[in-house]
Structure 1
Amino acid sequence: MSSKTFRNTRKIVPISQLNVCVPDLTLTFDLPGVPYFEPCFAATQYRDPVTGEPKYPNGHFTHQADGRDNDEADDDERGALLRSDDSALDDTNVWRKPLVGVVYEVTLSDYARIIATEGGGSSYIDVVVDCYPFPADFNPSDPVPSHPSTIPFRAHTLLAPARDTANACGKTGSNNGNSHLVRHPTYAQPSPRYMSLLVIGAKEHNLPDSYRTYLSSLHAYRITSRRQRLGQVLLCLLWVPSLLLVMTLARILADNRGRAPGWLAKLQRGLFGSIWWTYDVIFRKVFGDGERTAGT
């Protein structure tokens, strides 16, 4: 949503834009990034219309299970977050209202550039959803409508396919390296840099206050020990050169739809799987948590 990223970094100039809500989707932070740097990214998942929770293959949303005992988890109790009277905010840090965002009208070439800069089709799938514009007289202090009354229109968006979270919750085992990409959907925290882009973008577009309060309430991942800092440096030396090479190739070799060749998309997924395998098997045990700030 940040204009700086969208217009300056990606060089995309929208033809028009409109603030909308999307009842069929909800905001999540369950797309794995790189431990210690960008633990996770924002994504969208299909939304249960009754509970407002994101839908996952093994049922619905599962509450945080981070491996700590109950007493330790109770002591932390997620810290002091900003609160709102809006029912979309609760202690699980899940946005239960419809997805809120901005629809951009762009050229086909610009849309291909968006696909290319979002992994070339290796991370997201393109879906078409009903978008409801906010009424002309909508006040940002008003609650986000669960059942919008405006006339919808159809728009493309990128959805991160929900993976089975059973592995992440410790219910099944797998020797497949890519199984390490299955993270618990609410455990990882985005980086301060990434959260800043979302918060600034929501402010720039004057999105609903409750949504902006929700974004501001989220904890960002921060390194709190020298061990973690050392782990960050070593992980960088081990994996970042290969990652940058693959991401650069994905942009160079993208077709006119912005999609990378199938073999390269598979290589990129395998690389991320290997990064998270290294983290789960070695780095987390030796250097500490690279997904979530200690004590949050």
Structure 2
Amino acid sequence: MHQEAHKTRWLVLHGPLIFPARLAVILKDIVPVASSTVQVHDAFLSFDVPGVPFLEPAHANVLVKGFNDDGEWSSKTDGEKGLDREGEAYKRWVWARCSPGVDFAGSLPRELEGVAYELAEDDVETVVSRALKFLPSSVPTVLVPVRASRFELGDVTRSLGEVSADIIVAQPETPTAGLQPSRDYHMLILRGAFLNVLSQPYLAQLTILRPMDLSPPAKARTARLYRLLLVPSFLLFYLPSRILGPVWAQLGALLFGRGAPALRALERLSRGTAGSGYWNDLAK
């Protein structure tokens, strides 16, 4: 008599939640059935959750088409809204919430990327509750169903199939456009995306985001140093992706993918913990 298979669900984590130290807290004793880098369809990384002014001005969130993207761009009749999502007004509205400090480029930002974990049904609530500790406690959240494409490390063009997943979406009382995260928060997102080997074009998009300068004039030297630290990322990811497009995504995946195991091992050593914390190497 065969034992009934345990039910599982996919949960997508992204942005600051996939920074290795945070993932170690979120997953802790949880062993995912499988995991994969993913691109979430019709969803964008946004910064529309207000934080504490001059300390942490904005928190990352997810903008999901058809769920929390109603705004001044939309028409009065539901029948026209679908058409409006192809227009410039909608693109500008999304851009203002997803690309802090960057001039409108005439298109939508790249779709959200992150890491999806296949979890036992009983573990989903535990993981979500731990992830919520890194979000403002006063802001309500909800799990939203999405479609996500799994892909090989660093290259969204090499698909591993689609999955139905849930993603945590914050619902602030007043979602705000034009918010810029702090430098530390920005670097948290950049490092998480880099170490989890998200796609080169997505890394390029994250690289050009402009965090809010919270430093007083006396710390101008630190500000210049921060910008210098982003130069290699700009040269390696943004410029090549703009010039070469998908070709660079494939080349970057080939070059960087081979060094990913060593990079993850180095990260484990620096944290002094066993297991990658952000990639389930045993689940193939």
- Is residue 182–residue 214 contact of structure 2 (8 Å, CA) maintained in 1? no
Q: Matched residues in 2 for 1:214 and 1:55: separation? A: 21
Verify: 1:47 aligned to 2:65, yes or no.
yes
The CA deviation at 1:33 is 1.0
Identity %: 23
Name stretches of at least 5 consecutive residues in structure 1 with no aligned partner. Answer: 49-53, 66-77, 82-89, 164-177, 227-296
The CA deviation at 1:24 is 2.1
Aligned partner of 1:57 among 64, 71, 76: 71
Q: Matched residues in 2 for 1:17 and 1:64: separation? A: 31
Report Cα offsets for 1:18-38 as digits up to 9, x if no partner. 100111211111111111011
Report Cα offsets for 1:37-90 as digits up to 9, x if no partner. 111111111238xxxxx833322343759xxxxxxxxxxxx6xx8xxxxxxxx7
Q: Matched residues in 1 for 2:107 and 2:54: separation? A: 22
- Is residue 23–residue 97 contact of structure 1 (8 Å, CA) maintained in 2? no
Partner of 1:103: 116
Verify: 1:206 aligned to 2:169, yes or no.
no
| Count of matched residue positions in the alignment of Structure 1 and Structure 2 | 174
TM-score computed with the length of structure 2 as normaliser: 0.51
Aligned partner of 1:29 among 32, 47, 53: 47
- Letter in structure 2 aligned against 1:213: A
- Letter in structure 2 aligned against 1:2: F
Partner of 2:168: 158
TM-score computed with the length of structure 1 as normaliser: 0.49
- Letter in structure 1 aligned against 2:190: V
The CA deviation at 1:203 is 0.9
The CA deviation at 1:12 is 6.1
- Letter in structure 2 aligned against 1:98: E
Describe the SS at the equivalent of 2:127. helix
Q: Which structure 2 residues correspond to residues 1-296 of structure 1 after superposition, within 5 A?
A: 1-8=18-25, 11=28, 13-15=30-32, 16-47=34-65, 55-59=69-73, 60=90, 61-62=92-93, 91=104, 96-106=109-119, 107-108=123-124, 109-119=126-136, 122-134=139-151, 136=152, 140=154, 144=156, 151-161=161-171, 181-183=174-176, 185=177, 187-225=178-216
The CA deviation at 1:13 is 4.4
Describe the SS at the equivalent of 1:42. strand
Partner of 1:272: none
- Letter in structure 1 aligned against 2:191: I
Report Cα offsets for 1:133-156 as digits up to 9, x if no partner. 01x4x6x3x5x56xx965321111
Structure showing the higher strand proportion among its residues: 2
Report Cα offsets for 1:233-277 as digits up to 9, x if no partner. xxxxxxxxxxxxxxxxxxxxxxxxxxxxxxxxxxxxxxxxxxxxx
Describe the SS at the equivalent of 2:210. coil
- Letter in structure 2 aligned against 1:19: T
CA gap of 1:12–1:95, structure 2 versus 1, over 3 A, is farther
- Is residue 26–residue 130 contact of structure 2 (8 Å, CA) maintained in 1? no
Report Cα offsets for 1:159-184 as digits up to 9, x if no partner. 134x7xxxxxxxxxxxxxx6xx442x
Report Cα offsets for 1:83-140 as digits up to 9, x if no partner. xxxxxxx745986222111112342323332235434583321111111101x4x6x3
Describe the SS at the equivalent of 2:62. strand
Q: Matched residues in 2 for 1:32 and 1:14: separation? A: 33
